[in-house]
């Protein structure tokens, strides 16, 4: 399918508003990212939002906790890891998307601002995310959630972190209700057809993705399954997976292949590809109608999986 007109409008909008060259200093790139025009859409109004900190393995970690104003004790939870190539972004930018998911699911949503590469390379961001899951499970009673209904999720680099956290949880005997992976970067195979088809001009470019991988992972850790989940020898025992992909995304093929590997290893997989969409459309709510459809679809699927987990 050709690029959806609304997705093209996002690309045109970004081009028109520009930003510093990719060769600019990292802090300048981060500042431009934080000051970019907000296209995520409006936040839900029937939820409460709380900002706090927890003690992580190497630093205090900022948390964003979202729960419906009418909260049912014993409901589910989503521990969310944001995208941004492990280098950019922060959890608070995701408030519009995550408040909608909390509103539609009735879940408590907990998002962590993990430490960023290249200053903090793997395993530090991964350890921050896993520690957030452990904290959530340890405080289930206080949070009013059922620990058997807790899952992890993330988009892009956050999808990588969610998949990796789900792998470690399985290794540690922790039964997650689900792993929600939104166009995750789970492999470093740049020969995939989706990389060749979407090398440039679709928002996320191959060169940028490679640079982020190299910023995040030390050279001697690329075989570590918690860094690159596709490098796991087995995915058996993993949490049921909900995977959402965009047609015009260089990460499309690796997300599909990861879903196939999960299914081959006996993991229940629900996968949907969105025709005409580009990387990042989960956050394009003010410009792309499918952004809201995706959020509703994800909400419905993780509610179904927490019912199965009961």
List, in order, residues 6 or more apart from 179 with CB less than 8 Å away: 151, 152, 153, 162, 163, 165, 166, 238, 239, 240, 241, 242
Query: SS3 for 217?
Result: coil
Catalytic choice (249, 253, 284, 299): 249
Task: Respond yes or no: is residue 279 known to be catalytic.
Answer: yes
Q: Tell me how crowded residue 181 is: count the other CB atoms within 10 A of its CB.
A: 33
- Angle (CA) 106-102-92 rounded to 5° is 155
pTM for the complete prediction? Answer: 0.97
Tens-binned pLDDT, residue by residue, of the chain (310 aa): 799 999 999 999 888 887 776 677 888 878 877 656 568 999 999 999 999 999 999 999 999 999 999 988 889 999 999 999 999 999 999 999 999 999 999 999 999 999 999 999 999 999 999 999 999 999 999 999 999 999 999 999 999 999 999 999 999 999 999 999 999 999 999 999 999 999 899 999 999 999 999 999 999 999 999 999 999 999 999 999 999 999 999 999 999 999 999 999 999 999 999 999 999 999 999 999 999 999 999 999 999 999 876 5
Beta strand 241-248 with 269-278: parallel, antiparallel or unpaired? parallel
Residue 97's closest CA among 270, 251, 283?
Answer: 283
Looking at residue 259, which CATH number applies to its domain? 3.40.50.1820
Partners of 30 in the β-ladder: none
| φ and ψ at residue 74, rounded to 5 degrees | 85, 15
Domain count for the chain, please give it. 1
The boundaries of the domain holding residue 144 are 5-309
Which H or E run contains 108?
strand 108-112
Task: Respond yes or no: is residue 249 known to be catalytic.
Answer: yes
List, in order, residues 6 or more apart from 27 with CB less than 8 Å away: none
| φ and ψ at residue 230, rounded to 5 degrees | -65, -15
Residue count of the chain, please give it: 310
Task: Respond yes or no: is residue 198 known to be catalytic.
Answer: no
Q: CA 46, CA 195: separation in Å to the nearest integer? A: 40
**Does the bond joining 118 to the residue before it have cis omega, within 30 degrees of 0?**
yes
Catalytic choice (75, 156, 194, 299): 156
Catalytic choice (127, 279, 284, 299): 279
Which H or E run contains 146?
strand 145-155
Describe the crossing of helices 95-105 and 289-309 by its angle, rounded to 10 degrees: 50
Q: Please check whether residue 101 is in contact with residue 299, taking contact to mean a CB–CB distance below 8 angstroms.
A: yes
Provide the CB-side half-sphere exposure for 261 (13 A, CA): 17
């Amino acid at each position: 399918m050709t690029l959806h007109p609304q997705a093209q409008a996002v690309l045109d909008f970004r081009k028109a508003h520009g930003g510093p060259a990719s060769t600019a200093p990292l802090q300048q790139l981060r500042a431009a990212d934080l000051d970019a025009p907000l296209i995520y859409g409006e936040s839900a109004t029937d939820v409460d939002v709380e900002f706090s900190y927890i003690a992580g393995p190497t630093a205090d970690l900022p948390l964003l906790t979202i729960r419906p104003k009418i909260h049912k004790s014993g409901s589910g939870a989503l521990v969310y890891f944001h995208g941004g190539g492990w280098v950019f972004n922060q959890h608070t930018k995701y408030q519009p998307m995550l408040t909608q998911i909390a509103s539609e699911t009735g879940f408590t949503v907990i998002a962590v601002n993990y430490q960023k590469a290249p200053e903090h390379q793997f395993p530090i961001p991964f350890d921050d995310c896993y520690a957030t899951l452990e904290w959530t499970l340890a405080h289930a009673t206080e949070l009013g959630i059922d620990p058997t209904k807790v899952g992890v999720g993330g988009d892009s680099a956050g999808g990588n972190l969610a998949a990796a956290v789900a792998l470690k949880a399985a290794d540690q005997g922790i039964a997650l209700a689900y792993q929600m992976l939104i166009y995750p970067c789970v492999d470093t195979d740049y020969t995939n057809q989706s990389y060749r088809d979407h090398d440039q001009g679709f928002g996320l470019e191959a060169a940028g993705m490679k640079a982020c991988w190299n910023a995040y992972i030390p050279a001697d850790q690329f075989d570590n399954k918690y860094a690159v989940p596709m490098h796991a020898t087995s995915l058996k025992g993993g949490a049921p997976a909900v995977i959402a992909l965009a047609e015009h995304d260089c990460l499309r093929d690796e997300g599909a292949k990861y879903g196939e590997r999960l299914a081959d290893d006996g993991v229940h997989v629900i996968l949907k590809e969105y025709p005409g969409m580009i990387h990042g459309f989960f956050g394009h709510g003010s410009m792309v109608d499918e952004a809201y459809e995706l959020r509703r679809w994800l909400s419905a699927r993780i509610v179904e999986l927490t019912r199965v987990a009961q």
